[in-house]
Amino acid sequence: MYEINYSGRAVSCTENETVLECLLRNGIEHPHSCRNGSCQTCMVQAVAGSVPQQASAPLKPSLREQGYFLPCICQPQDNLEIRPAAIMERLQVAVTGVESLGQDLVQVKLQRPEGFSYRPGQFINLFRDEKTSRCYSLASHPHHDDELVLHVRRLPDGRVSGWIHDELTHGDKIEVSGPLGDSFYVADDQQQPLMLIGTGTGLAPLYGIIRDALHHGHTGPIHLYHGARDAAGLYLGEELQQLQSEYKQFRYVPCVSRQEPGERYAAGRALDVALQHHPQLKGWRVFLCGNPDMVKLARKRAFMAGASMRDIYADAFTISA
């Protein structure tokens, strides 16, 4: 058991508990979102004590050297004195639109701050208030869209998604930070085949990545497998069909796992259908996004099918308690 001193308040961290879990259990309100080391919302600075290397591994070297780490993935091995980090600037933006994309799904458009640079496929943190934020992937493209575009599905008892669906409206001012994430297209081999597999709103970053690959003149095959339980969970079908008709190298396969597929859809989970169509992925670049169980399994199966780990890019969606 180790002692965590958080801005002058000392608490005890139990065995197998992360620093973030310890803080929250003791009633210390510390900003957080994904809890898996992706969003970096919870970043803190170590004033004293030794931090396990893996707790700072996702950060840039310049931050690691200053003692910053992620308490959500840190199980302490020493007494620590820490303080909140105020590194990631929050930007105030205006909501320019909230539009329905389908069942319990909206598209949120945000004013793009001046000088805000991002890569399609990255994500931002969106703040409901000072302490409550969530990560949302960007479906927009900086060269084709004036605004930042998010796809938000309503979650049961979702503190942020419910607020977005029920209260957020045109003209509202909110805060965002970012961008973050390294799951995006790099135009280093424009003939390399690309495999993109997503579920639900995991389509958002994949849609941005596909548009970016086509924007850069990617000539290799691009295959998108988007899955849902039924057709109501699929969206952007017309837009993706239009891309498929314009670009011969792009193929879109919508998948449904719990209804009769008919002629429009493939039957089964997106991961299963993709690997049935492409059982050998050696030399492919693979992008995965959506349900965390799917992403974990897909990473393993893509590797077993021959894809190099350095060519597998994945963002799993997590649900905050």
Long-range residue pairs from 158-164, CB within 8 A, at least 24 positions apart, any chain: 159/128, 159/132, 159/320, 160/126, 160/128, 160/132, 160/133, 160/134, 161/134, 163/128, 164/98, 164/106, 164/108
The residue with greater pLDDT, 215 or 317, is 215
Q: Is the pLDDT of residue 317 over 70?
A: no
Q: Is the pLDDT of residue 10 over 50?
A: yes
Strand arrangement of the beta sheet that strand 9-13 belongs to: 9-13, 2-6, 80-84, 44-48, 68-69
pLDDT band at 316 (very low <50, low <70, confident <90, very high): low
pLDDT score for 239: 96
All domains of the chain in start order, with CATH = 2-84 (3.10.20.30), 91-180 (2.40.30.10), 194-316 (3.40.50.80)
SS3 content of the chain, % helix, strand, coil (to 5): 25, 30, 45
- Give the residue carrying structure tokens 């977005």: 164
Q: What is the pTM of this model?
A: 0.76
Q: pLDDT over 90 for what percent of the chain?
A: 74
pLDDT score for 321: 46
Average pLDDT over residues 128-139: 90
Q: Is the pLDDT of residue 221 over 50?
A: yes
The secondary element (H helix, E strand) that includes residue 204 is: helix 203-215
Q: Give the dihedral of Cα atoms 239, 286, 191, 211; nearest 10 deg.
A: 30
* 64-96 pLDDT per residue, tens: 877 889 999 999 999 999 988 755 678 999 999
* 246-294 pLDDT per residue, tens: 999 999 999 999 888 778 899 999 999 999 999 999 999 999 999 999 9
